[in-house]
Structure 1
Amino acid sequence: MRKRSTVFALMVAAAATVALATPAAAIVGGADATQTYGFMASMQTKTGAQQCGASLIAAQWLVTAGHCVTDAETLGVEDPSQYQFRIGSVNRTRGGEPAVADRFIRHEGWDSSLHNDIALVHLTKPVHARPIAIGAAPPTGTKIRELGWGSTCLRHGCDSPVTLQQLDTTTAPAAECTLPDFNSTRQLCSDNKGGTVNACYGDSGGPAVVAAYGRWLLVGAASHGQSDPCVARAGIFTSVPFYAGWIATHTEWRTPTALPAVTGRAAGSGHG
């Protein structure tokens, strides 16, 4: 199988299709994880190369970005047997629970412009890690934490960090995400703090979470940027809450009693 190197996909206003590029930068402006996130998963090739992030939402199911399970040449769904996952460790090379998948389910409406950029990963057996609950769609200005193992420089050739990176930022106004087909119902706009921070290559599929009610809640999956370098403009996440119904139809996950949307809560008070 040809090694696939798509990971935080770049899309600019002039581009009609996703640019599938070699990993080049991490969660820029982030820092080493300050806690263990039991729901966090690293999607890797069989040789251990970092590809994408994912979030455990049920004992046998992960959610990630649609382009993370898509072949760069054919745009078909990848063979899950070519990948491995490590769940619940801040170190992508050891610890946590190793897992393998037997099925990828990409959203039926996915396309190369990254509409409906969400997918499910079915694991061959349940894991013991605690899944993350899906929260309500966060309003503008909500404090979020982004997680990922994207490589650590803005140029090609850097390895992905071994230690999980985290970045505290906020949801940005929709006006900051100016791609013509940005949809504020299906997507989240992530503040780049004046061009200094952002998720980037290697972080695709990884979560955006909010801290509420003494735990983390999943609100986004890293999808794509609007510029190269990634920090130049706000980032775009798939809104996981929007797709909760779709997730429920394909998995044993069930929509819980709705929790109020959270805003103004300090990121960092949740538990993995």
Structure 2
Amino acid sequence: MSKRGRAAVCAVAGAITLTMAVAPSASAIIGGHDATSPYPFMASVQKDGQHYCGASLIEQDWIVTAGHCTVDVEPEDLSVRVGDHDRTKGAEAKVTEVVAHPDFSYEPFRNDVAVMKLDRPVDAEPIRLAADSGPTGTGTRILGWGMTCEDGSECPKPPMRLQELDTRIVPDERCSEDYEAKNELCTDSPTENAQACILDSGGPQIKGRPGDWELIGATSRDGDADPKCATGPGIYTDLTAHRDWIERTTAE
């Protein structure tokens, strides 16, 4: 299997098919810990009542997530919980529209971003999209629910409580051959063997500080040739690079 193939298996196949095997479908964080701050914008996209992908509330009736979270799903399949560390609580809404970036592709990964329209405004505070993602070395944080280990048989039930992990933007060359620097963020953690994995897809990458967070990215996929999620960097869609498309689409 190619490096690209391994990355795809670890990311998209996990986010879509692993749900039916041992865990709900949206990757979680290995090496993270229980959330320490309020994240009112944090959303759990759910399919058949199970956590499917992470997302961020950017308007009271719109969320942004990964493009691959839209593969083989229809709006009527999805609902959303927003604003609580517990993925079964928070404001609830149904999804009425799913819009992947028109240039999204799965193989190779390109423009891995999508927005979803909710059936009503939810009582939760959206996060603002940053003006830019920041230079190499910028401190960031990733959030998610799901598996907290590499082997699903060892952690078959994802945590109920939101997990967080401090990360940073690292040089582009640290990421694999299908990484696209102009639209993506190569991201690693100072914590050894810690990274997003099968099931945090679409979840937010943020910068700033508690009470003043800005959104810069969405979890996309594994960032190196090693099939283990927690070793090496991860690749995150640079949402600031897609600002025009996001704002234009959610304004329609």
CA RMSD in angstroms comes to: 2.1
Aligned residues: 234
Identify which of 118, 126, 130 aligns with 1:131: 126
Gaps of 5+ in 1: 1-10, 72-77, 254-272
Identify which of 127, 147, 150 aligns with 2:146: 150
Between the aligned partners of 2:242 and 2:65, the Cα distance in structure 1 is 12
**Is the CA contact 1:53–1:64 (under 8 Å) kept in the aligned structure 2?**
yes
Between the aligned partners of 2:64 and 2:200, the Cα distance in structure 1 is 13
**Is the CA contact 1:192–1:232 (under 8 Å) kept in the aligned structure 2?**
no
* Closer, same or farther: CA 42–245 of 1 in aligned 2, 3 Å: same
1:24-50 deviations in Å (ceiling 9; x for gaps): 76311110001221100001112x221
CA deviation after TM superposition for structure 1 residue 12, in Å: 5.9
- Secondary structure of the residue aligned to 2:173 is helix
Aligned equivalent of 1:269: none
Structure 1 residue 41 corresponds to structure 2 residue 40:
no
Between the aligned partners of 1:82 and 1:170, the Cα distance in structure 2 is 34
Aligned equivalent of 1:97: 91
Opposite residue 104 of structure 1, the aligned amino acid is: V
Instruction: Compute the TM-score of the two structures, normalised by the length of structure 1.
Output: 0.81
Between the aligned partners of 2:230 and 2:6, the Cα distance in structure 1 is 21
* Closer, same or farther: CA 41–14 of 1 in aligned 2, 3 Å: closer
1:83-137 deviations in Å (ceiling 9; x for gaps): 111000000012x201111000001111112210000000011112111001112
Instruction: Compute the TM-score of the two structures, normalised by the length of structure 2.
Output: 0.87
- Secondary structure of the residue aligned to 2:161 is coil
Aligned equivalent of 2:69: 68
Aligned equivalent of 2:55: 54
Aligned pairs (5 A) from 1:2-41: 13-15=3-5, 18-19=8-9, 20-21=13-14, 22=18, 26-41=28-43
Q: Out of 62-71 and 147-156, give the one that drifted further.
A: 147-156
Between the aligned partners of 2:142 and 2:2, the Cα distance in structure 1 is 22
Q: Out of 167-176 and 22-31, give the one that drifted further.
A: 22-31
**Is the CA contact 1:152–1:159 (under 8 Å) kept in the aligned structure 2?**
no
Aligned pairs (5 A) from 1:192-207: 192-193=189-190, 195-207=192-204
CA deviation after TM superposition for structure 1 residue 18, in Å: 2.8
* Closer, same or farther: CA 216–154 of 1 in aligned 2, 3 Å: same
* Closer, same or farther: CA 214–165 of 1 in aligned 2, 3 Å: closer
Identity %: 38
Between the aligned partners of 1:127 and 1:249, the Cα distance in structure 2 is 21
Aligned equivalent of 2:231: 232
Opposite residue 18 of structure 1, the aligned amino acid is: A
Opposite residue 126 of structure 1, the aligned amino acid is: P
Aligned equivalent of 2:77: 82
Aligned equivalent of 1:120: 115
Structure with more of its chain in helix, by fraction? 2
Between the aligned partners of 1:119 and 1:195, the Cα distance in structure 2 is 31
Gaps of 5+ in 2: none
Between the aligned partners of 2:102 and 2:7, the Cα distance in structure 1 is 17
Between the aligned partners of 1:34 and 1:111, the Cα distance in structure 2 is 35
CA deviation after TM superposition for structure 1 residue 190, in Å: 0.8
Opposite residue 42 of structure 1, the aligned amino acid is: S
Aligned equivalent of 1:267: none
Aligned equivalent of 1:172: 170
Between the aligned partners of 2:148 and 2:196, the Cα distance in structure 1 is 11
CA deviation after TM superposition for structure 1 residue 14, in Å: 4.5
Aligned pairs (5 A) from 1:203-218: 203-211=200-208, 215-218=212-215
